[in-house]
């Protein structure tokens, strides 16, 4: 069975013995025994900037190492053998993304015109406090103007992965930094808005992997996902030697439910945190999405909203703080939905006719709405088993 990052375990059904094999730079996901029983075909992700790209490999029992089979820009999911055991089937996936900047009120254009940001493949984006764009291709964090021009590299780390980022007022940026310094961990980091003085805030194994952290307007706390049971927070600045102490927030536990880890947003006044949870119907085991509005002044008063049932990611606040916004997926296509806090009817503000919304952010002045959209092309690939 797959283990945590860097490890798989083998269980002998006769003796009950367990043997663990460690991999310092890979995370194993799908497993499939070879028909000769001499090893495992696996899908895995490599530590570093290609973290989101799953490849196919073979783990030989003789040496316990992962021998790559695929080395390309696609990603692979699922592995299954034909009845005669001679053909291995997998799904090859290629994800294409594009960043668009729309007017703050949205647009009725069903397609839109993507930005070309210094030729890089945009995996994450956000805005600076003065209305410039921040983009990342996992290895670099780049600041540009609103047209995607005049780039300045703030951080570059070819052996790690910058997963997302959020501004904290005008002074700081916070972001999950995976494998920085040769570690196997994903921790939350802080740096100055100009890219200087990166400082580690947490040392969890998987902090902020799901979505970007959120920073309070008062710049005292950074909120992030670590598990599905609670939300977590860490002080933005340290009070002494060592890392600041991260803490779970007891008031965010969800009875008969869990945190989806699909994004969060803080209101413009810094007093309310919005995030998505899934409540589980104990009879049907069906999930029911709810938007939680947590009062950050006391961390206990939590109001719940019923979102559009086709919500596909977590909420953000509109710039005026009077509504929450989130993507709604219909027939495989995402559009942004505005839901007023006063209970009045919601409405879409985009009319795209293709692709999914990976993330969206308003510029601080509300004049621009950035949307990262994408789609995945999938093909079934057949491989003949041979000696690795």
Per-residue pLDDT, 62: 83
- CA dist 326 to 40, 232, 294, 310, Å? 41, 22, 17, 10
pLDDT tens digits, one per residue of 314-343: 999 999 999 999 999 999 999 999 999 988
Per-residue pLDDT, 212: 85
pLDDT tens digits, one per residue of 70-85: 888 888 988 988 888 7
Per-residue pLDDT, 198: 92
Per-residue pLDDT, 386: 59
Comparing C-alpha atoms, which of 96, 48, 56 is closest to residue 72? 56
At 353, is the pLDDT very low, low, confident or very high (cuts 50, 70, 90)? very high
Comparing C-alpha atoms, which of 265, 268, 337, 341 is closest to residue 303? 341
| 270-288: average pLDDT | 89
Per-residue pLDDT, 343: 87
C-alpha–C-alpha distance, residues 231 and 210, integer Å: 12
Per-residue pLDDT, 356: 94
173 three-class SS: strand
pLDDT tens digits, one per residue of 135-163: 998 888 999 999 888 999 999 988 888 88
- CA dist 266 to 1, 325, 374, Å? 38, 12, 25
At 8, is the pLDDT very low, low, confident or very high (cuts 50, 70, 90)? low
For the chain, give the mean pLDDT: 85
At 239, is the pLDDT very low, low, confident or very high (cuts 50, 70, 90)? low
C-alpha–C-alpha distance, residues 75 and 23, integer Å: 20
C-alpha–C-alpha distance, residues 108 and 130, integer Å: 27
Higher pLDDT among residues 338 and 209, named by residue: 338
C-alpha–C-alpha distance, residues 114 and 103, integer Å: 14
Residue 167 has pLDDT above 50, yes or no: yes
Sign of the CA dihedral 304, 310, 312, 316? negative
| 29-47: average pLDDT | 83
Length of the chain: 388
Residue 237 has pLDDT above 90, yes or no: no
Higher pLDDT among residues 205 and 15, named by residue: 205
Residue 16 has pLDDT above 50, yes or no: no
At 24, is the pLDDT very low, low, confident or very high (cuts 50, 70, 90)? low
Higher pLDDT among residues 221 and 8, named by residue: 221
Q: What is the pTM of this model?
A: 0.84
């Amino acid at each position: 069975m797959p283990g945590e990052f860097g490890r798989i375990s083998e269980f002998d059904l006769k003796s009950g013995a367990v043997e663990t094999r460690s991999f310092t730079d890979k995370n194993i996901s799908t497993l499939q025994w070879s028909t000769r029983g001499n090893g495992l075909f696996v899908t895995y992700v490599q530590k570093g900037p290609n973290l989101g790209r799953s490849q196919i490999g073979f783990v030989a029992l003789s040496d316990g190492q992962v021998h790559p089979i695929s080395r390309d820009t696609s990603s692979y999911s699922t592995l299954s053998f034909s009845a005669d055991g001679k053909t291995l089937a997998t799904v090859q996936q290629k994800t294409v993304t594009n960043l668009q900047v729309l007017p703050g009120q949205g647009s009725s254009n069903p397609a839109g015109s993507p930005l070309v940001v210094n030729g890089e493949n945009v995996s994450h984006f956000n805005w600076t406090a003065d209305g410039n764009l921040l983009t990342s291709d996992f290895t670099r964090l780049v600041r540009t103007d609103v047209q995607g021009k005049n780039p300045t590299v703030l951080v570059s780390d070819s052996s790690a992965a910058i997963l997302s980022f959020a501004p904290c007022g005008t002074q700081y940026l916070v972001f999950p930094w995976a494998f920085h310094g040769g570690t196997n961990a994903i921790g939350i980091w802080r740096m100055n808005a100009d890219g200087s003085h990166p400082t580690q805030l947490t040392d969890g194994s998987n902090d902020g992997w799901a979505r970007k952290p959120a920073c309070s307007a008062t710049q005292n706390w950074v909120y992030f996902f670590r598990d599905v049971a609670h939300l977590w927070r860490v002080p933005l600045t340290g009070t002494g030697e060592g890392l600041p102490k991260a803490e779970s927030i007891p008031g965010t536990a969800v009875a008969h439910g869990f945190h989806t880890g699909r994004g969060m947003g803080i209101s413009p006044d810094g007093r309310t945190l919005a995030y998505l949870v899934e409540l589980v119907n104990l009879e049907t085991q069906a999930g029911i999405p709810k938007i939680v509005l947590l009062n950050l002044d006391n961390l206990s008063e939590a109001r719940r909203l019923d979102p559009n049932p086709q919500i596909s990611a977590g909420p953000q606040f509109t710039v005026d703080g009077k509504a929450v916004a989130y993507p709604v997926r219909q027939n495989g296509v995402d559009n942004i939905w505005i839901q007023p806090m006063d209970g009045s009817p919601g409405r879409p503000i985009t009319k795209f006719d293709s692709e999914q919304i990976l993330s969206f952010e308003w510029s601080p002045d509300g004049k621009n709405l950035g949307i990262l959209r994408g789609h995945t092309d999938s093909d079934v690939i057949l491989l003949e088993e041979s000696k690795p």
